[in-house]
A and B are shown apart, each in its own frame.
Chain A
Amino acid sequence: MTFTSFIFLIFFPVVLILFNLIPRKGKVWFLLAASYFFYIILQPIYVLLLVGVTFCTYLFTRAMANTESEKKKQRLLVLGIISIILPLFFFKYFVIINKSVISLLDNLGLHIALPEISFLLPIGISFYTFMAIGYLADVYNEDVEFESNIGSISLFLSFFPIILSGPIERAGNMFPQFKNFHNSSYDGLVAGAKMMLWGYFMKLCVANRLGIYVDDVFSHIQEYNGSTLAFASILYPFQLYADLGGYSLIAIGVARCLGIRVISNFNRPFFATSMSEFWRRWHISLIQWLTDYIYTPLSFTLKSWKIWGIVSALVLTFLISGIWHGAALTFIIWGLIQGVFLSIEAATQKSRSRFEQRKKLKKNPWYLFICSVCVFVIFSFSQIFGKSPSIKDALTVVGKILTEWGTPYLNITELSFGLIALAILLLNDFSEEYFASSFKLFNNKYIVVRYLSYLILVFMIIIMGEFGGEKFIYFQF
Chain B
Amino acid sequence: MEQTQIIEKLTSIFREVFSDSSIVLNETMTTDDVENWNSLTHMMMILKVEEALNVKFKLKELNKMKKVGDLITIISSKSE
Stretch of B6-14, B33-41, B70-78 with 4 or more beta carbons under 8 angstroms from chain A: B33-41
Q: Which B7-54 residues have a C-beta within 8 angstroms of A?
A: 19-20, 36, 38-41, 43-44, 46-47, 50
Task: Give the docked Cα–Cα distance between A350 and B62 (Å).
Answer: 23
Q: How large is the interface on A (under 10, 10 to 19, 20 to 34, 35 or more residues)?
A: 20 to 34
From B16, which residue of chain A is reached at the shortest CB distance? Answer: A350
Among B44, B47, B59, B63: residue with most chain A CB under 10 A: B63
Q: Which A356-390 residues have a C-beta within 8 angstroms of B?
A: 357
Task: Give the docked Cα–Cα distance between A467 and B19 (Å).
Answer: 50
Indicate whether A173 reaches chain B with its CB closer than 8 angstroms.
no
A292 contacts across to B, CB distance below 8 A: 63
> How many Å from the CB of B62 to the closest CB on chain A?
6
B60 contacts across to A, CB distance below 8 A: 141-142
Indicate whether A67 reaches chain B with its CB closer than 8 angstroms.
no
Are A342 and B40 also in contact (CB < 8 A) when A303-B47, A306-B47, A350-B19 are? yes
Are A297 and B59 also in contact (CB < 8 A) when A276-B38, A310-B43 are? yes
Indicate whether A291 reaches chain B with its CB closer than 8 angstroms.
yes
From A299, which residue of chain B is reached at the shortest CB distance? Answer: B43
Are A300 and B59 also in contact (CB < 8 A) when A143-B64, A349-B36 are? yes
Inter-subunit contact B38/A303 (CB<8 Å): no
Inter-subunit contact A276/B40 (CB<8 Å): yes
> How many Å from the CB of A242 to the closest CB on chain B?
26
Inter-subunit contact A307/B44 (CB<8 Å): yes
Task: Give the docked Cα–Cα distance between A349 and B19 (Å).
Answer: 9
Task: Scan B52-70; emit 1 where CB is below 8 A from any A CB, else 0.
Answer: 0000000110111000000
From A310, which residue of chain B is reached at the shortest CB distance? Answer: B43
Task: Give the docked Cα–Cα distance between A49 and B71 (Å).
Answer: 41
Are A349 and B59 also in contact (CB < 8 A) when A303-B46, A303-B47, A354-B19 are? no
Partner of A291, one of B20, B39, B64: B39
B19 contacts across to A, CB distance below 8 A: 349-350, 353-354, 357
Task: Give the docked Cα–Cα distance between A346 and B46 (Å).
Answer: 15
B43 contacts across to A, CB distance below 8 A: 296, 299-300, 303, 310, 313
B46 contacts across to A, CB distance below 8 A: 303
Inter-subunit contact B59/A280 (CB<8 Å): no
A353 contacts across to B, CB distance below 8 A: 19-20, 36
B20 contacts across to A, CB distance below 8 A: 353
Task: Give the docked Cα–Cα distance between A342 and B38 (Å).
Answer: 12
From B57, which residue of chain A is reached at the shortest CB distance? Answer: A300
Task: Give the docked Cα–Cα distance between A208 and B19 (Å).
Answer: 43
Task: Give the docked Cα–Cα distance between A36 and B55 (Å).
Answer: 49
From A293, which residue of chain B is reached at the shortest CB distance? Answer: B63
Inter-subunit contact A143/B47 (CB<8 Å): no
> How many Å from the CB of B60 to the closest CB on chain A?
5
Partner of B63, one of A143, A295, A310, A342: A143
Task: Give the docked Cα–Cα distance between A300 and B44 (Å).
Answer: 10
Inter-subunit contact A296/B63 (CB<8 Å): yes
Task: Give the docked Cα–Cα distance between A295 and B59 (Å).
Answer: 12
Inter-subunit contact B63/A141 (CB<8 Å): yes
Task: Give the docked Cα–Cα distance between A143 and B62 (Å).
Answer: 11
Indicate whether A217 reaches chain B with its CB closer than 8 angstroms.
no
The contact sample of 15 A-B pairs, CB cut-off 8 A, is A141-B63, A143-B64, A276-B38, A280-B38, A292-B63, A295-B39, A296-B62, A296-B63, A297-B59, A306-B47, A307-B44, A310-B40, A349-B36, A353-B19, A357-B19
Q: Known pairs A141-B64, A349-B41, A350-B19. 4 more at Cβ < 8 A?
A: A295-B39, A296-B62, A296-B63, A310-B44
